[in-house]
Amino acid sequence: MTNPIENEKWDQIIRPKTDWLDIHFRELWNYRDLVLFFVKRDFSAFYKQTVLGPLWYVIQPLLTTIVFTVVFGKVAKIPTDGIPPFLFYLSGIVAWNYFADCLKNTSSTFITNANIFGKVYFPRLTVPLSVALINMIQFSIQFILFLCFYFFFMVKGAPIYPNKWLMIIPLLIMQMAFLGLGIGILVSSLTTKYRDLNFAVGFVISLWMYASPIVYPVSSVPDKYLFLYMLNPMAPIIDMFRFAFLGNGIVHPGHWMISIMMTVIIFFVGLLLFNRVEKTFSDTI
């Protein structure tokens, strides 16, 4: 007598992952509607009971730039390579915010979504991927804000010189997303056993910001420490992002290549560990 279950045709068969490299990227595409649902859910939930709503996307970088301009530009008098201080700080803040938000919001993926992960099956990577997409919305709004001030200063005759490196801006944005996502899922995987990391993320991001050329130009770093400084993968990204629009200073494409290689390695390691931990995280959370 044949088993009727064996004769049934299933649209999808869920099997346990048995290998570190058992990653199904096509499955993410099949669940693209779920990714968009997470994006809409998080966007509406975050601003549901706020008065200003998405305007906070503009207010936050604007106020931060004003504070940096006063404290670091007027009081500390840190040079900006001839670039208007407001534009110098805003360009760094906009680029940094996207990376930092991707890292911070994906670093608690397993802890935040433990209840959902334990009840229903779907590719776990859809959650950090949706975070990167919703942060892209925030970045787009802040990038438009930057462009408004950029053209305003250009019309006023400020010494800014857009150049051919503008063509790599999409690559820089993509790299920031992969770097933030890679470190975020790496930390998220480790926090299933080491909860202390979840508390340290915000502190480390704050320190990392000041170790990147946000409030000072790369030209202020002594030559003997420049290579070591550029091992910070975000330093070449922000330097290239700023140089592409403003044109002041010296571009470092070699250091950017090293940053790209580090980004690929970090993302790949984070992906492998995330894939490994998702099979057993419910036993430790």
Least confident residue range of 6-15, 115-124, 173-182, 221-230: 6-15
Q: Residue 69 carries which side chain, given as an amino acid letter?
A: T
What is the reported pTM? 0.85
Three-state DSSP state, 107:
coil
Least confident residue range of 63-77, 157-171, 191-205: 191-205
Distance CA 146, CA 139 (A): 10
Task: Please say whether the beta carbons of 226 and 258 come within 8 A.
Answer: no
| Residue 159 belongs to some domain of the structure | yes
| Residue 5 belongs to some domain of the structure | no
12-49 exposure pattern, b = at least 16 Cβ within 10 A, e = fewer = eeeeeeeeeeeeeeeebeebeebbeebbeebbeeeeee
Q: Which pLDDT score, from 0 to 100, does residue 82 have? A: 86
Residue-wise pLDDT tens digits, 273-284 = 888 877 665 545
- The confidence band for 40, taking pLDDT boundaries of 50, 70 and 90, is confident
Q: Which pLDDT score, from 0 to 100, does residue 90 have? A: 95
Distance CA 174, CA 37 (A): 22
CA atoms within 13 A on the CB side of 94: 27
| Residue 1 belongs to some domain of the structure | no
| Residue 204 belongs to some domain of the structure | yes
Instruction: Quote the domain boundaries for residue 242.
Output: 24-44+52-283
Least confident residue range of 5-9, 94-98, 178-182, 192-196: 5-9
Question: Taking 70 as the threshold, does the pLDDT of residue 12 lie above it?
Answer: no
Q: Which pLDDT score, from 0 to 100, does residue 49 have? A: 60
Distance CA 260, CA 257 (A): 5
Distance CA 246, CA 258 (A): 23
| Residue 244 belongs to some domain of the structure | yes
Question: Taking 70 as the threshold, does the pLDDT of residue 17 lie above it?
Answer: no
Computed on alpha carbons and rounded to an integer, the radius of gyration of the chain in Å comes to 22
Distance CA 89, CA 61 (A): 9
User: The tokens of 275 are what?
Assistant: 């894939």
Q: Which pLDDT score, from 0 to 100, does residue 19 have? A: 54
- Which residues are CB-neighbours of 105 under 8 A, at least 6 positions away? 131, 135, 184
Q: Which pLDDT score, from 0 to 100, does residue 47 have? A: 66
List C-alpha distances in Å: 163 to 236, 245, 281: 17, 7, 48
Residue-wise pLDDT tens digits, 49-77 = 665 667 778 888 999 999 999 999 889 88
Residue bearing the bigger pLDDT, 185 or 42:
185
Q: Which pLDDT score, from 0 to 100, does residue 215 have? A: 92
User: The tokens of 35 are what?
Assistant: 């990714």
Q: Which pLDDT score, from 0 to 100, does residue 182 have? A: 92
- Which residues are CB-neighbours of 180 under 8 A, at least 6 positions away? 98, 99, 100, 101, 102, 103, 106, 132, 135
| Residue 13 belongs to some domain of the structure | no
User: The tokens of 48 are what?
Assistant: 């549901």
Number of structural domains found in the chain = 1
Burial class (CB in 10 A: 0-12, 13-18, 19+), 149: middle
Q: Which pLDDT score, from 0 to 100, does residue 181 have? A: 92
Q: Which pLDDT score, from 0 to 100, does residue 24 have? A: 64
Q: Which pLDDT score, from 0 to 100, does residue 18 have? A: 52
Q: Which pLDDT score, from 0 to 100, does residue 53 have? A: 65
| Mean pLDDT, residues 16-20 taken together | 52
Q: Which pLDDT score, from 0 to 100, does residue 98 have? A: 94
| Residue 16 belongs to some domain of the structure | no
Residue-wise pLDDT tens digits, 106-159 = 888 777 777 777 677 777 788 888 888 888 988 999 999 999 999 999 999 888
| Residue 10 belongs to some domain of the structure | no
